[in-house]
Each structure stands twice: as C-alpha cells, then as structure tokens.
Amino acid sequence: MKNNKNITIKHIAQTLGISTSTVSRALHDAYDVSPETRRKVMALAEELDYKPNPYAVSLVKQNTKIIGVLLPEIAVYYFSMVVKGIQDVAYSVGYNTMFFISGESLEREKTILKNLNVNSLDGLLVSVSAETNTSEHFKKLIDKGLPIVFFDRVLDDIHTSKVIQDDYQGAFMATQHLIQQGFTRIAHLGGPKGINITQQRLQGYLDALTESGLPIRKNYITHSGLTEENGVEDMSKLLAIKPLPDALFCVNDRKAIGAMLALKRYGYKVPQHMGIIGFQNAPISEVVTPSLTTIEQTAYEIGAKSCQLLLDHIKTPDMEPQTVVMPTRLIVRESSRKT
C-alpha cells in the first residue's frame, strides 16, 4: 500500500478495536503492552505504511524532570521519612518532585488523578488512601503511558512495580515475640480492611497464633483507622470483652500508643496487665512510658528505592515490573516484657 500521510494512530486503533493510547504505547514499545497487542499494532502500521508525526513523537518523548508523589498524608513521621528518601534520590539526578495529598480519601484521590496533567510529569509514585479499593483510576493513567510505581500501600490487581515492607513477616515476628514472653490471649488492633498492609499484618498475626496452637478469637480483632484516636476507641471496646486480652499487637505505633492511653485511663498498667507491640518504630515509641516494643519500618529506604525504580522505568519504558520487599526488624522495649 502506498504511503498515506493522513493515516493516524486513531485509524489503527479503530481498526483493531483498542484505544489510541494503547496503540501509541505499542508503537513506543511500552512495558505494559502485551506482546500479542504489540504484534498486531506493528503489523497493521506496516500494512498501512503509517509514518508517525515527528512533532508528536517529540512531545511524547519530552522529559519534564518532574516526578509526582501521591500520599495519603504527610504530617506523620513515616511519610515524612519516605519523602526525604524520594527527594534525596530525585534531586541527585536533577529531578524535582510535586506532591499531592489524598487525606485518606478515595474521592479526593480520584479527583487529584482526574485533574492531573500527564504531560507535566515523567512518572508518579503512589501510596494509596485508606479508602482505596479499586485501581481503575490508576489504570487510566497507565493507559496514557505514565510510569507509576506504588510503595507501602499498594494495589494487588495492577501490573506495575511496587516497593513494600515485609508486613507479613513483621506481624508474625511481633505476635511470636508476645507468645514467647508468655502472653496467651493476644488481640489485634487492625487497620482499614481494604488496604494491603492491614491484610498482611492480620495474616501474620493469625498464622503466628495458629503455629503456636493458640486459639483465634474473632472478637479480639478490630478494624478501624490508623490514628491514635482509633487506638483509644478500639481499646475501649476490647476492655468490655471477657476474658480480657493479656496482650495486643497493633497495626501501627499510633494505634498502640492510643491503646496505652486508654488502658491508663481505665487503671490498667502496661505490661503488667497487658503487653503491647506496635509497628513502625516512630520516634515517640522510645519516649513514651513504658517505651514501646515495635517492628521497625525502613521508611527512608522505601522512599529511595521506589524513586530509583520509577527513574529506571522512565529511562527504560519496556522494563518489566518488579516487586521489592524490604525487611523488618523487631525492636524490644518495655511494653512487651511480661513481669
């Protein structure tokens, strides 16, 4: 067929019944296009003697040297350290960062992405909100060719690179530690049900109990938000249960400290009446009384690794997605030492 200058990617997309963004990504050998789709696109492009618009190609390949970062919140120690890791890596190679805060709201998260100018960013780092239970709004951006790397709170049903903590192993270690200290009625203050960190930490807790032959009491498991106030509320509810738990594994340090406040309010002592362990190793865990046993999270390293991984995807669009799992470490302090 003779060259037709009027042939565009829209013609190819309509003929194959796929989106123009998929055609564009296939022509540019993007990593998230299947080999079969790429083969069909390339074959039809050759048959139609399609020639890309040089100006359009230059726009596609233009680098802004800006990375977007979508966070659920920023005023807590964990995410502030993640941000430092991201910025240190980004700035070291001449990139700037642009931050978006969802406020733990799915609707706000969707609005941010809907209004996002894809051409203004080279890539996006994401930790999803506590309410996020769908990946469709992220898939739309990926379909437009924007590289995305998830970290900490990730979505399992989306094929992108991810950097996560070993939440399961950390929770298993935490619960096992309480069992080794002699606690037998261990409750769990969990996070929102839909997010991956809640699910992984719950499973680690359950498996540790099962491996040790301890019963799983469903009324010992709570699910709510991730704040200190949520810890106070959940602990207050558990105090109405008989028999009373003799230890707690909390989904994060903030909920653990909230639980400690509630116990003190009702006249209980930690660890004499109830042992407690958190998850994060926030600075406050060392200065509260008693000091808080916890699972250390490598927040800075997660930020740095996720940023480097995103830069790799920007540099090499056909790079296969990776899942990087960062190790955890048990930090034993006063709150879990049974006396």
Q: Would you say residue 3 has pLDDT above 60?
A: no
Domains in the chain, CATH or no CATH each: 9-60 (1.10.260.40), 64-165+299-326 (3.40.50.2300), 167-297+330-336 (3.40.50.2300)
Helix (H) or strand (E) holding 73: none
The pLDDT assigned to 31 comes to: 60
Mean confidence (pLDDT) of the chain: 91
pLDDT tens readout for residues 63-115? 889 999 999 999 889 999 999 999 999 999 999 999 999 999 999 999 999 99
Residues 266, 258: Cα–Cα separation, whole Å: 13
pLDDT > 70: percent of the chain? 93
- Weakest mean pLDDT among 46-55, 82-91, 229-238: 46-55
Q: Would you say residue 60 has pLDDT above 80?
A: no
Q: Give long-range contacts, CB 8 A cutoff, 24+ apart: 1-5.
A: 1/47, 1/48, 1/49, 2/49, 3/49, 3/51, 4/48, 4/49, 5/51
The residue ranking higher by pLDDT, 131 or 339, is: 131
